[in-house]
Structure 1
């Protein structure tokens, strides 16, 4: 009898379940399916990008034993880089906008990352968190992961997320829906699915204040249309990961609709998720209501709600920001279609 093979934590990124969202599937007459990315070792879909960025750098010889990885991140990529980095012998320095949830900062520090919060500034500002990370890498000889423009990010999804969804749906997937942060998830997954079946519809779910709805709908980056509390998504430029991809449809999703989805999934499905997951699922529901019934629609459940309890699951914070956790999904969609 052969001995079983065992692997360290970095070998267990991906292969997450594809969960049927029962209530929303019944509501739309479609199969609404969520990829349970909160089950990755670092707790989010960004573990896939982190693993891809690290292993690609190792193959290229730019990341060597004992090196330090630095990255500008809203949190989840930093968590993934820290978890996988520790497993492979690296230290991490994380530059993060100070607007992100305090749970993320504490989690990163607990994991052992050096965390440097900085004022939130647009990409056009030289003191944007990504530019700070790049400069520090150049000055100190560290490896800058560069998740936004390093296409090893989308390649990781091309090699894992896309094939997993294709296999888990037995090739019956009709549409894939994802929001854009770096663009890696939407780009890499859709490139694979479109190769397997060009008829698969690719849908971008975009929060207010981001530019991707405008880009995929009108070909411009006009994003002067509001704001969102969603963390880790909402892009104002075309990153290298987004170049040369086909997106067939884009939807604007407001925070209240996403929040209604998050709370319904918590109360009726037992899924504890963050707002970016709510935006993704809301986008899937919008597409289903517009084009169903009978479709199989896959989306990404990005991470758990644990890192957002001081905001999304805090009644006082919700009240202060005009968000109602008791508003049903049906009511939220009706309000926005009126």
Structure 2
């Protein structure tokens, strides 16, 4: 450490740009919170704090891998516009990465996503194209496909729902981080299904390290339970990267339970998180309550700053 005016000044971590700060997020010990909610004292309960990524979400991992894979292959060049559909977080991540790397970014998002998400995309200089709010994320997918089909030479279509780099990001970063942070003691991994890249990539890595690790997939309980960031796969366009044989178990969660848990995390655990995080914790607690011991790990995709205008915390 350097000295300043006779005092020891803290060392600073050097990085050439913000993208080098993606990954290596903290694993929070929420065992006390879980024990108060009926989980056995012998069961450990952890959550990966993904809002520590630049852009504020887990999606920074996949977005960076997608962009850099496209750069290596020559699919993404300076004369092309990066385009994709997004319910918010991946779009924000693409906008941030485009700002750093100098790419134009166009994003198709349902018109009813939160105002905060729209503002963040625009803050990074991306162009926002709104799709039919009643058609949700599937409508945004259809819209972006139409745009790309009309002018294929104009765009690099990131296609996060079908891009194997989405899986690879979590296989190479999220999975190894969780394994190392738990010292290989993880027994259950619980995560939501959106693009499904986080669940598939992380789950595959953990299964390779220990086939006994249980993988629990979380999604809305039915098509009427709208939870931002999650898909009800039975009634939605299923991502091409999804591996239907990977999950050991599926847990459905209602919108009401999600909102309640999201508020409880803020008020009882000091965790200001988004709706998909609330759903993941609710499901992980259902799993953990059934155990007499073990290590349950879930993932908190983002913080709550993008959801304030929805009235969740009122």
Q: Please say whether Structure 1 and Structure 2 have the same fold, judged by a TM-score greater than 0.5.
A: yes
Q: Aligned partners of 1:18 and 1:245: how far apart in 2? A: 27
Cα shift readout 1:193-234 (whole Å, capped 9, x = no counterpart): 000000000001111335xxxxxxxxxxxxxxx322x21211
Q: After the TM superposition, which parts of structure 1 deviate over 4 Å for at least 4 consecutive aligned residues?
A: 121-125
* Alpha carbons of structure 1 residues 136 and 208: separation in structure 2 relative to 1, 3 Å: same
Are the equivalent residues in 1 in contact too, given 2:110–2:136 (CA < 8 A)? no
The partner residue of 2:144 within 125, 133, 139 is: 133
1:67-216 paired onto structure 2 within 5 Å: 67-120=80-133, 122=135, 128-138=139-149, 139=151, 140-210=153-223
* Alpha carbons of structure 1 residues 145 and 25: separation in structure 2 relative to 1, 3 Å: farther
Q: Aligned partners of 1:87 and 1:66: how far apart in 2? A: 16
The partner residue of 2:229 within 207, 228, 232 is: 232
The partner residue of 2:34 within 15, 24, 27 is: 24
* Alpha carbons of structure 1 residues 59 and 244: separation in structure 2 relative to 1, 3 Å: farther
Q: Aligned partners of 2:44 and 2:16: how far apart in 1? A: 34
Residue in 2 that maps onto 1:278: 278
* Alpha carbons of structure 1 residues 149 and 264: separation in structure 2 relative to 1, 3 Å: same
The partner residue of 1:54 within 57, 67, 90 is: 67
For residue 16 of structure 1, give the secondary structure of its aligned residue in structure 2.
coil
Q: Aligned partners of 1:283 and 1:312: how far apart in 2? A: 23
Q: Aligned partners of 1:86 and 1:66: how far apart in 2? A: 15
User: How far 1:306 moved relative to its partner?
Assistant: 0.7
Are the equivalent residues in 1 in contact too, given 2:99–2:124 (CA < 8 A)? no
> Tell me, which stretches of 5 or more residues in structure 1 are unaligned?
211-225, 316-338
Residue in 1 that maps onto 2:310: 311
Q: Aligned partners of 1:169 and 1:33: how far apart in 2? A: 9
Q: Aligned partners of 1:105 and 1:61: how far apart in 2? A: 29
User: How far 1:107 moved relative to its partner?
Assistant: 1.6
Say how many residue pairs are matched: 295
Residue in 2 that maps onto 1:263: 263
Residue in 1 that maps onto 2:6: none
Q: Name whichever of 87-96 and 257-266 sits farther off.
A: 257-266
Are the equivalent residues in 2 in contact too, given 1:66–1:89 (CA < 8 A)? no
For residue 182 of structure 1, give the secondary structure of its aligned residue in structure 2.
coil
Residue in 1 that maps onto 2:48: 35
Normalising by structure 1, we get a TM-score of: 0.82
* Alpha carbons of structure 1 residues 289 and 207: separation in structure 2 relative to 1, 3 Å: same
For residue 176 of structure 1, give the secondary structure of its aligned residue in structure 2.
strand
For residue 99 of structure 1, give the secondary structure of its aligned residue in structure 2.
coil
User: How far 1:59 moved relative to its partner?
Assistant: 1.4
Q: Aligned partners of 2:35 and 2:27: how far apart in 1? A: 14
1:292-307 paired onto structure 2 within 5 Å: 292-307=291-306
Are the equivalent residues in 1 in contact too, given 2:15–2:21 (CA < 8 A)? no
* Alpha carbons of structure 1 residues 256 and 131: separation in structure 2 relative to 1, 3 Å: closer
Normalising by structure 2, we get a TM-score of: 0.88
User: How far 1:137 moved relative to its partner?
Assistant: 3.0
User: How far 1:26 moved relative to its partner?
Assistant: 4.4
Q: Name whichever of 11-20 and 60-69 sits farther off.
A: 60-69
* Alpha carbons of structure 1 residues 11 and 275: separation in structure 2 relative to 1, 3 Å: same
Are the equivalent residues in 2 in contact too, given 1:187–1:245 (CA < 8 A)? no
Q: Aligned partners of 2:14 and 2:258: how far apart in 1? A: 42
Residue in 1 that maps onto 2:19: 10
